[in-house]
Amino acid sequence: MNTRKLLNIRNLVLMGMLGAIGAVLMLFEFPLPFVAPSFYGLDLSEIPVLVGTFAMGPMAGAIIEGVKILVKLVLKPTSTGFVGEFANVCIGCALVLPAGLIYKVKKTKKGAIAGMVVGTISMAFVGAVLNALVMLPFYSNFMPLESILEAGAAINPAISSVWTFVFLAVAPFNLIKGALVSLITSLVYKRISVIIHR
């Protein structure tokens, strides 16, 4: 889909709606205390982004991701000096862009599944690196890094450093999130895409 075709009024409205749904879903988080400390909340806001990505392409996915964060900031102002929102956009794009690119090349069920698998792995890796380099240093201004690592070690005794924390807690957390988002998207996409392409 070329830029002019993508940015027609109908698609802009669709991207806005999907971004707004994603923003609302961001407000509903639940922890995975058996994987990561409770201050990591899982939300399903990437579902409408992934649906839009498959329906309109990777560029649409990136735009929906941006709209999602902007609407979320209206609904609930940042509590992290925009660091959390920046990370959310990067981690979300790490899921939807590879998935969208693979599906764009191979528009089949197998292509969609392959895209979601690659996207989930990408999200887990990017999420781990971003947490190590950006999120944890930022949050250590509010909560001692030792306390964060101790919270991780309480779940998995092998956690003893920032890098073991991100690869043994954050990465599995994002793998579960990606798998859940992918599963739900695969169940609802066909029904929603009929409405989108009507």
Q: What is the pLDDT of residue 42?
A: 93
User: Is 32's pLDDT higher than 80?
Assistant: yes
How far is residue 45's CA from residue 181's CA, in Å, rounded to a whole number? 8
Question: 4: pLDDT confidence band, cut at 50, 70 and 90?
Answer: low
Nearest-CA neighbor of 114 among 104, 127, 129, 124?
104
What is the predicted pLDDT for the residue at 159? 95
Does this model's pTM top 0.85? My answer is: yes
- Over residues 46-74, the mean pLDDT reads 94
Q: What is the DSSP letter of 12?
A: H
Confidence of residue 102 (pLDDT cuts 50, 70, 90): very high
Q: What's the Rg (C-alpha) of the chain?
A: 17
Q: Could you tell me which of 156, 157, 159 has the C-alpha nearest to residue 145?
A: 159
Task: Dump strand ranges (E) for 22-86.
Answer: 30-31, 41-42
Contact 32, 169 (CB under 8 A): no
